[in-house]
Amino acid sequence: MAILKRYAVRRVLKALLTVYLVATGTFFLVRMLPGNPVEVYINTQMSQYGVSYAEASSQAAGLFSFNPNEPLIQQYGDFLAGLVRGDLGESLLAPGTSVLDIVFEYLPWTLFSVGLGVLISFALGITLGMLMAYWRESWLDHALSLIGSLLQSVPNYLLAMLVVVFFGVQLEILPIADMRGAYSPGVTPNLSFDFLSDVMYHAGLPITIYVLTTIGGWMLVMKSSTVETLGEDYVTVARARGLTDGRIRSAYVGRNAVLPLVPQLAITLGFVVGGSILVEQVFQYQGIGYLLFQSVQRRDYPVLQGILLVVTIAVVAANLIADLLYGRLDPRVRLNGEE
């Protein structure tokens, strides 16, 4: 137990250090982006709206409390002080609106859509992977391997655009205008079936894209893991004991073959935000990736930092959970006392 506690404390401290280092790195990196928010604002007003420089710069002076010439170290000090207090500041472009409010308005949609997509993809992927292993070299194995490889190689944003163009525009099967967004206009968020059903209607396309573009990987990894497990001595012994195929598949092979995929699943869940940026843009889905894209374009430093911090924490936390959980799922690791 003492070993476990020491291990857990060490891992937590390491995670905190990682978050700090990444937060510091992102603080300086976002400020190295070409053009600060004031410049981007002035240039956007001029190039997109034909506003004269005098008007645009006058508006910028009235709008931004941000001073790009403030020493970087002072900005960094303010950022760290805020971080310690759990205050990520306010959006530069929407004064008075806290970054946390903005992030939490968008984050749940991404967690929901990408999280659900990953879970479905995982469940289907491991099932199909097992089938491929059991019937390896059959037509099913070849067909699924081909499909899995193809799907894995298509970037999710490209598939999203293809779906919109072919099924929405060319074939007119999907009502793409209706399906945009996280829920329909005029709908009040609540816990009713009507609302949940509407949410699923809108999340359907993004989730389908996430499933299609990740399922191939799970299938192929699960197949190879199952093939390896099938060659284990305990499977041969189970067969020798006369256990049924079904029992061997579920209790012996499946459970052990899926173990290497569990930490991978946890890490994938941590990366949900990164994978959603362009898909959310294509479907105009109100997720954190959509917000990140817009914040980068407009150099809204505090929002950008806030999102990147949330992403970092998600990845680090997922790794931590995977580390701590793995010992629980695999008795062999626990028995060695080295979790």
Partner 1 sequence: MTEKVVISRRRALQLFGAGAAGMAFLAACGKSEQATSSSNSGKEFHGAWPFQVPPKGHFHEMEGMVDMIVGDGPYIDLVVLPPAMYLWKEQKYEGLLAESWALDAAAKTYTVKLRSGLKWSDGKPVTSKDMVTTWWCYRILRNVGWNYISDVKATDEQTVVFTLSNPSTVFERYALRKQVFSDAVYGEWAAKAQALFGAGKDLDSAEGKKLNTDFQTLRPDDVTASGPFKIDTKSINNAQLTLVKNDTGYAADKVDFNKIVLYNGETPDVTPLVLAKNVDYATHGFPPATVKEFTSKGIRILKPPVYSGAALYINFAKMPGFKDPKARQALAYALQRDQVGQVSLGDSGQPVKYMAGFSDLSVPQWLTAADVGKLLPYEHSEQKAVELLTSLGWKKEGSGWVGADGKPIEFEVSYHAEYADYSATGQNVAQQLAAFGFKAAGRGVTYSQMDVDLYKGNYQMAIQTWGSSKHPNPHFAFAQPLFTYNYPVAANQGGRGIDFDLKQTTSSGPIDFKEAIDAAGAGLDEAAQKASVAKVALAFNELLPVVPLYERYGNNPGLEGTRVKAWPADDDPIMLNAPYADNFTVLLMLQGRLKAA
Site for partner 1 in 111-170 (CB under 8 A): 116, 119-120, 122-124, 164-165, 168-169
Total interface residues for partner 1 by CB under 8 A:
79
Q: How far is the CB of 230 from partner 1 (least distance, A)?
A: 18
The single residue among 255, 336, 337, 338 that binds partner 1, judged by CB under 8 A, is 255
Round to whole Å and give the CA distance between 161 and 167. Answer: 10
Q: Is 264 in the site for partner 1 (CB under 8 A)?
A: no
Of 75-83, 145-153, 213-221, 252-260, the window that binds partner 1 (rule: CB under 8 A) is 252-260
Q: Does 246 bind partner 1 (CB under 8 A)?
A: no
Selected from 2, 32, 49, 241, the binder of partner 1 by CB under 8 A is 49
Nearer to partner 1, 223 or 299 (CB): 299
Contacts of 185 (CB under 8 A, 6+ apart): none
State the nearest-atom distance from the C-beta of 6 to partner 1, in Å: 21
Among 140, 200, 267, 313, binds partner 1 (CB under 8 A): 200
Q: Which of 23, 46, 158, 313 binds partner 1 (CB under 8 A)?
A: 46
- Indicate the residue type of 38: V
Indicate the residue among 148 and 302 with the shorter CB distance to partner 1. 302
Interface with partner 1 (CB under 8 A), residue from 29, 196, 336, 338: 196
Find the part of the chain contacting partner 1 (CB under 8 A) among 14-22, 30-38, 214-222, 306-314.
30-38
The reply on whether position 25 binds partner 1 by CB under 8 A is no
**Nearest by Cα to 272 from 324, 213, 227:** 213
Q: Tell me which residues in 53-92 interact with partner 1 (CB under 8 A).
A: 53-55, 57-59, 61-63, 65, 91
Binding test (CB under 8 A) with partner 1, winner from 70, 87, 105, 228:
105
Question: 1, 177, 191, 335: which one contacts partner 1 (CB under 8 A)?
Answer: 177
Is residue 182 involved in binding partner 1 (CB under 8 A)? yes
Q: Taking the complex as a whole, how short is the minimal distance between the CB of residue 290 and partner 1, in angstroms?
A: 7
Output the smallest distance, CB 260 to partner 1, in A: 13
